[in-house]
Structure 1
Amino acid sequence: MTPSFPSLRLRRTRVTAWSRALHRENILTPADLIWPVFVTGGTGVEEPIGSLPGVSRWSLDLIAKRAKEAVGLGIPCLALFPNTPADKRSDDGREALSRDNLMCRAIRAIRDACGSDIGILTDVALDPYTSHGQDGLVDGAGYVLNDATVEVLVGQALNQAAAGADIVAPSDMMDGRIGAIRQALEADGHHNVQIMSYAAKYASAFYGPFRDAVGSRGLLKGDKKGYQMDPANGEEALREVALDLAEGADSVMVKPGLPYLDIVRRVKERFEVPVFAYQVSGEYAMIEAAAAVGAGERDALVMETLMAFKRAGCSGVLTYHALLAARLLGR
């Protein structure tokens, strides 16, 4: 039955495009995007990643070109991940501390190409550097050692900051690492280097293609459930966020993205701080697979999922679709 009160017609504001734009509650812009990119060695090298169609590893010269492309599209920040050569990986991940590792060289290449026109976010964790694929140092039984790992992570963060990183992003999920890194950055004079903490990083099935990209999938011995979070837990995520903020994090991240939008919303409402989400490799791959078989239209799927992050409360999103989304938004 049609209501007798015309004021109840909620469709009225949806009839025209201008009205929909006027009443839109959330806005997505290129400034909301962080583009994760993979670094490899050599010159003029582009290595397509089979499980991430459309994504490649790039050598330093091509990474610099990608950074310029991002600047031109209004993307404010790149997130860097290295594919460390096998002969540079070790049980103790010592390559993470080298001033000449792929990460540090990529930071300098981007800075030389773009100056301060783009932010550089760096991953702080040992899995791209260890021969066993874990995010930290392990004992004889394969247990990831917390405090010994934190000591190395502090050195890694200082190394990246010295190379020119704007944001260090610890993704390891070791206890106490945010406070230790913040204290070390301050003591070393890096007062303006931000920390974006992977505060709620779950032991997820959605990370597989990423491990292919950084070359750790075939190396990983065991799993990461002893330090990454149980997907069944929500309250624990709030405790993790509270600890990381108290220790000096400037912003926090929820990872993966779409399966954990409830966590994004709870964190935003509880703490009222900048919250980011990582639309991880498995999420990207599913969209690409759906588009490839005609189960959905790529552009529409990408834009709808990114808007879901904004609606849930994200300040920004790390997404492999950043370049595509920025182009669509610029039309």
Structure 2
Amino acid sequence: MTKKVDVGIMLYGKPYQTAVSLHTLYKYSGHHINKIYVTIEKKQLFHNDTPLFKSLLEGLPIEYNVAKRFIGVKDQSQKTIKQYIKFLIPSYRKSMRYQYIWEKTKSPYLFLLHNDMLFSGDIIGHYLENIGDDLAVGAVGQCWNCPIYQKECHNDNYFDFRPNASEIVEFYKGWKVDRAVKQGLVGPDKEGWPMPECRLNEMVVMFNMKRAKRMIIPYGPIRPFATFNNLDFGIPWFRDISQRGYRLKHTSYDHVAEHAWCSNHSGGTTSLTNQTLYEKEEQIAKEYFEKMVK
């Protein structure tokens, strides 16, 4: 069988969580995987993990790349000539999450993941069965942050429920998760649909590269998948493709994968600024990994 899926991951710390992510992925989905592209951030948090990364990932079909710039969580969503020119600079663009991999791969499908995943089944096979002719497949939404989730809107009908900017203002009145309001993304003079938190969650996602690759800068007009907008990664890309009429396939991965499993599924960002928590989570992953490879 021809292996038709390339895998992409961006490493920012978490060597043991990374090892668990990629080894459990390969255990269950390795028969689909051609190559794993690993981009290592130019800067690593707390200490340099690069030698440890590589030692823990031995035996996997990996091609390494080191980002030439450290971009971090800087707002890249401004629709300005200056920001567009930045996207055209290869060293800048390819230092963004997944963009080096996006441009490098020649496989028909690209599977991207976070480095704090735990797999218990064939996630890639599951996505291949569901993607069909769609642009991408994964979990649509950061719906837990949205005031209309499971009311007017849910993962499967996000494309059809299209509030305008003034309606979105009303939805957010009294809403407990007001980060979109604080970041100035909600107002009668702002963009309407999609909702501010809408995106294709990047934790585990697959793209049909025959359709998706040529749409993105530098090939097409759409901003790179990992473009950040002060709320999260991927939201500008999601807005661009949605407003051009591209619908995405929502599919749950909960039965074969866990995100942020070392932090009780509370997300993986808190430990990036808390070294004590970071080391605790890494110790959990280290113990799991050592049992796994015995």
TM-score (norm 1): 0.28
Q: Which protein shows a greater Rg? A: 1
Higher relative contact order (CA 8 A, sep 6+): 2
Larger helix percent: 1
TM-score (norm 2): 0.31
